[in-house]
Amino acid sequence: MDKTPKDRPVYAVASVDHALLLATVLQLEGRLTVAEAAARLGVARSTAHRLLQMLVYRDFAAQAADKSYRAGPVLELAAHSRSDTARLRAAALPALERLAEVVQESANVAIRVGATARFIASVESPQSLRVGTREGMVFPAHRTTAGLLLLSELDAGELAAVIETAGTGQSDVPDLPRLVRELELIRRQGFAVNREESERGVTAIGVPVRNADRRTVAGISLSMPSVRYDPQQLLRLVDVLQRAGRSIEADLRQAVP
């Protein structure tokens, strides 16, 4: 089939274009210094630095110890295929919308990509004081409920390998013996609680989402301001989350070709 050349948009936004180009270069070609990025774009070094810092903020890039930049977690190849992730997101959104409406807190679904957790769907709480959308954001897996739930499925060798990869790309590397004890507890109780581990002032509760083979493929969670978290409501919230998780699992089974 013939390919039609792309036309540059009439109202092209140069800063967006530059950021996307840098993200593409980082993903396909590897590391860049500020000077190399500036030369590639034909802009001042200060401009290139600001663009790269914004990519770091949104996890499209990460800065190495030598001050160069590399592709960040968002650009790393996911363990899930695009079709699997799209199917999961489509199945999760209705459940997240119901959760946010019933519980009045923000609801999320995240997957694990190596040593990180990536949020693929999020619905904000309708309350004025709320946790904002996390869709597209990436955190160290051990700092999120979904990441912990997914890490808890790994055997000792697999977990050690994941933590080793975290050491090559993250400054936040967990203490392995302590993490193992935490994951054992999560396996036994069937849910995870994150008290301000990923973000100050935010508490989250999560449960697993499993596929037809009963393998955990994601975590569904509620995120709320810590001032509103009531530990006495924990089991009730876990029950609501588990019902939402089962709804997603049912939709996933129907969506399998």
Single out the residue in 32, 47, 75 at which a domain terminates.
Answer: 75
Q: Are residues 160 and 33 in the same domain?
A: no
In contact, 206 and 145? CB cutoff 8 Å: yes
| 5 belongs to a structural domain | no
DSSP the chain: -PPPPPPPPTT--HHHHHHHHHHHHHHHH--B-HHHHHHHHTS-HHHHHHHHHHHHHTTSEEE-TTS-EEE-GGGSPPSS-HHHHHHHHHHHHHHHHHHHHHH-SEEEEEEEETTEEEEEEEE--SSSS-PPP-TT-EEEGGGSHHHHHHHTTS-HHHHHHHHHHHHHH-S----HHHHHHHHHHHHHHS-EEEESSSSTTEEEEEEEEE-TTS-EEEEEEEEEEGGG--GGGHHHHHHHHHHHHHHHHHHHHHH--
Q: What type of residue is 131?
A: V
The reported pLDDT for the residue numbered 4 is 40
| 20 belongs to a structural domain | yes
What average pLDDT does the segment 242-255 reach? 92
pLDDT at 222 over 90: yes
What domain count does the chain have? 2
Residues 98-153: tens digit of each pLDDT: 999 999 999 999 999 888 898 988 999 999 999 988 887 888 999 999 999 999 99
Q: Are residues 194 and 167 in the same domain?
A: yes
Domain CATH number, residue 44: 1.10.10.10
pLDDT at 15 over 90: no
Q: Are residues 107 and 21 in the same domain?
A: no
50-64, 157-171, 181-195 — which one is most confidently predicted on average? 181-195
Report the chain's mean pLDDT, rounded to a whole number: 86
Q: Are residues 102 and 208 in the same domain?
A: yes
| 2 belongs to a structural domain | no
Does the predicted TM-score (pTM) go above 0.75? no
What average pLDDT does the segment 228-237 reach? 96
What average pLDDT does the segment 2-21 reach? 64
| 4 belongs to a structural domain | no
Q: Are residues 148 and 29 in the same domain?
A: no
Q: Are residues 105 and 165 in the same domain?
A: yes
Q: Are residues 91 and 56 in the same domain?
A: no
Which structure tokens are listed for 179? 């993490």
Q: How far is CA 100 from CA 187, 226, 244, in A?
A: 26, 17, 11
Q: Are residues 39 and 106 in the same domain?
A: no
In contact, 121 and 136? CB cutoff 8 Å: no
Residues spanned by the domain of 18: 14-75
| 1 belongs to a structural domain | no
| 6 belongs to a structural domain | no
| Residue 140 backbone class (left: φ over 0; alpha: ψ -120 to 50; beta: rest) | beta
The reported pLDDT for the residue numbered 185 is 96
Residues 51-101: tens digit of each pLDDT: 999 999 888 899 988 999 988 877 765 445 556 887 898 899 999 999 999
| 3 belongs to a structural domain | no
